[in-house]
Amino acid sequence: MTGDDVPEPEWARRKRLAEVFGDVLPDTTNDEREPEAPRQESSAEEWLRAQVPPHHG
């Protein structure tokens, strides 16, 4: 509630909470979305993976 005891509209409450906490849950789940294209590794990621010793799998 606001300072003058007027009930806060639901949309205003959601907006205020989103500003503080951000979006906690996505609007859709993975099974509702189109599959994403496989992510391309950058050259830096490739290099890092190449540096991992074999015994660290």
**pTM score, whole prediction:** 0.32
CB 8 within 8 A of CB 1: yes
pLDDT at 4: 72
> Which residues have a Cβ under 8 Å from the Cβ of 7 and sit 6 or more positions away?
1
d(CA 30, CA 36): 10
pLDDT at 3: 60
Per-residue pLDDT reduced to its tens digit, 1-57: 556 788 999 999 988 888 888 866 777 888 888 888 788 888 998 898 899 988 876
Three-state secondary structure along 34-57? CCCCCCCCCHHHHHHHHCCCHHHC
